[in-house]
Structure 1
Amino acid sequence: MMSSRFKIAVATIAGLVILSASGAEARGPRPAGPVRVDLSASAHPIGAGNRYADTAHRVNTVRGVTTHAATTATASAICRGCSAEAISVQVLYLDRSPTMRLDNVAIAWTQGCASCNATAVSLQVVVVSRPGSLITANRAAALNAACNACHATSGAFQLVVSGKAQSRFSATTLRSLTSWASTQALLLRTPDLLGLSHLQQRLALKRLAHLVNADLGTRTLGARARVSGQ
């Protein structure tokens, strides 16, 4: 018989998986709104001892239309000794958007395995100019079920800054964003205080915001970090 806590955790994971599936295909903006700009990384190894990693990157520009963007990373391990790592890095430039809905989700789980690991990191960086209404959601979930020596961790990081319409990241900063996300995945895979500390993750995101603002001359509207691990 499953405990109430476990049932709630399973239901939460299932709901977030449904959301992540909606972002499984990256779409370019259409001429008229509203538009969706979605990106997802997904890592699910099959077979004992296998390791699978998926990294997704995308840069999009949308002007003058209502925009819904979903950035997701999902990773699972269900086989003995296997590991999964999913990393999504999405950069959005939104100019004169009347309504913006920004969803960022990282999900990781292990089930029915031994010595298995799953790590998911999703980084969403949004530069807005002359914005309208803004709705944001940033979520992370991790779950271990019926397994031995298993480790599931996830981190969702969302950064929204305001600047000029022509603001664009340098190639160096774009590379730094990818490197930053990879570093967070490495820390999350390390089962110590640094890897799972919410305070450490918030400080890391604050340093990233400083880098972004220094490059673009922008100011931070929102910086959100959520970490989950078992």
Structure 2
Amino acid sequence: MKFYPNKKRRPPRHFIPNILTLLNMFLGFLAIVLILNGQPLKAGVFIIIAGLFDVFDGKIARMLGIASRFGVEFDSMADTVSFCVVPSVLVYSLYVDGLPPLLGSFIAFIPLMFGTIRLAKFNVEQETGKPKSYTVGLTTPIATITLFSYVFFNHQIDGDFGDPRTALMVVSGLGILMVSPIHFAKFPLFSFKSGRTNSILLVGFILSIISLAIWQGFILMPLVTVYIGWNIISWLIKPHRNDSPSELDS
């Protein structure tokens, strides 16, 4: 009889990041189910929560010193579901009626197409370069939340989900931004000792969460519009930022 030494068990805290990633993916799956059942507003709430899980899984992994290649790849798989498949299903469900089937399907495919390209580029960048204080191209979570913000805003104003023509322009613009060379500020570190820019972003994030809790659907679209517009203008004014260590976002 052979005896094998017991493998060293990992502390339970080592599983926290992957559990958060699984929750991100699960909420993405639930969002798809909700959209297909005619409940895109509830789906949007789940996607916002999934976005928070996507932020915190990586942060916790790095804080615990257990960041791994598996974690990066697993996170991208979850993001593909929540922030690539979900927006494509949303577009197909709400905005392509009346279009030729093939054209409508292609337009709905845009978030999935550009989103997966964006995630693949992100993974390659992590292999070939050091962490930077910005991402090149709009991240998939922000792009998806921006699309849902359009849904929320129009439902609050008019009780519908917005003009399909405008929605399709938003979808196309977000797709281009995801694969563009524009630099977008990353999610801030939870510290006021990490520089002036990080402190400003952190205060902005806290105020955004408070505003979102108070004004809900009215405020999300202005918030993401300001974020995207501010980063585009900053990049046009100063296209080559200094690289500095920061958190990784996809």
- The TM-score with structure 1 as length reference comes to 0.32
Q: Which has the higher strand share?
A: 1
Q: Highest Rg: 1 or 2?
A: 2
Higher helix share: 2
